Amino acid sequence: MAEEITVRATTAELASARALAEGRRMHAISSAVRYALLAGVGFLMLYPLIWLIGASFKTNSEIFANPGFIPSEPTLTGYIEGWRTSTPYTFATFFWNTFLIILPKTIGTAISCAAVAYGFARFEFPGKRILFATLIATLLLPNVVTRIPQYLLFRDLGWLDSFLPLWVPSAFAGDAFFVFMLIQFLRAIPRDMEEAARVDGANTLQTLIYIVVPMLAPALISVCLFQFMWTMNDFLGPLIYLSSVDKYPISLALKLSIDTTEAFQWNRILAMSVLALVPALTVFFLAQKYFIEGISTGGVKG
């Protein structure tokens, strides 16, 4: 009886070993195909960006003559002249303006979204179900519907041509996506620590600040990073609300330089495009783990 089982087991082992070897060979071939495919697609996707960096150091005549990314006579003219712009301001002004929008917007988002997510995830209160439903609804609500009355509202408040319309709504937890992401994150955290703090006499605000926020930190960092990126890229908001060039952020300034730069000064625009991408790229590479995690939790659990 026992022998029979052993024999059977060995036959099974043999069969599976054979299958395994066969599988390995197939695996080697198919993984080679996969790597080739991935590398090919990756190259096609990243080459435009690589080319952009190279082209920003080229002379104007070389940009449309050389598909390679290494400039034959590297020059900084694009950067020097592009930075100066054809307006009375330099790109330093535009970077500073972008920063002045991003800073309050990111801080306002982090504080308001953390408080609101805490309220939703840890308390029962009248109307909670309905409010949560509105949160999901705003997640899907296209901004295009509310944009015109918002503009009229900010006009009546006298906020046109200021940075306020660009960040104040976010400071009221206006980006439902972030609130939702933080709620999901909080729901997955056990409440033991918070309950212990309450037993020790902390009130809910102290619990939020000293217990919840530190635990939420990774998710909050994701929120700030996404808000940073989206604000860097935001174009329509500034386009609608800002009219004086001295208040332009980088996105508007770039569009302006396409419209005003003489048709032959390609390298200036490309050089400034590179500079416009540098902050986003730097932040992304320093903190990519938070982006990937943020998008995975926010998305999958949604």
From 133, 153, 188, 209, residue interacting with another protein (rule: CB under 8 A): 153
Q: In the range 35-54, which residues lie near another protein by CB under 8 A?
A: 35, 37-38, 41-42, 45-46, 48-49, 51-52
Do residues 201 and 133 touch, judged by C-beta distance below 8 A? no
DSSP one-letter string for 280-300? HHHHHHHSHHHHHHHHHHHHH
Q: Which stretch binds another protein (CB under 8 A): 5-13, 83-91, 99-107, 142-150?
A: 142-150
Stretch that binds another protein, among 71-79, 80-88, 89-97, 225-233 (CB under 8 A): 225-233
Site for another protein in 107-136 (CB under 8 A): 112, 115-116, 118-120, 122-128, 131, 134-135
**CB environment 64-82: b (16+ within 10 A), e (fewer):** eebeebebeeebeebbebb
Shorter beta-carbon distance to another protein: residue 120 or 185: 120
Asked whether 136 and 180 are in contact (CB, 8 A), the reply is yes
Stretch that binds another protein, among 5-13, 78-86, 95-103, 139-147 (CB under 8 A): 139-147
Burial tier of 119 (Cβ tally within 10 Å: 0-12, 13-18, 19+): middle
Q: Residue 36 CA to chain centroid, in angstroms?
A: 29
Among 1, 140, 201, 264, the residue binding another protein under the rule CB under 8 A is 140
Nearer to another protein, 214 or 302 (CB): 302
Residue 2 beta carbon to another protein: minimum distance, rounded to whole angstroms = 25
Among 88, 142, 158, 190, binds another protein (CB under 8 A): 142
Query: How many CB atoms are located within 10 Å of the residue 239 CB?
Result: 13
CB of 244 to another protein, least distance (A): 16
d(CA 109, CA 182): 12
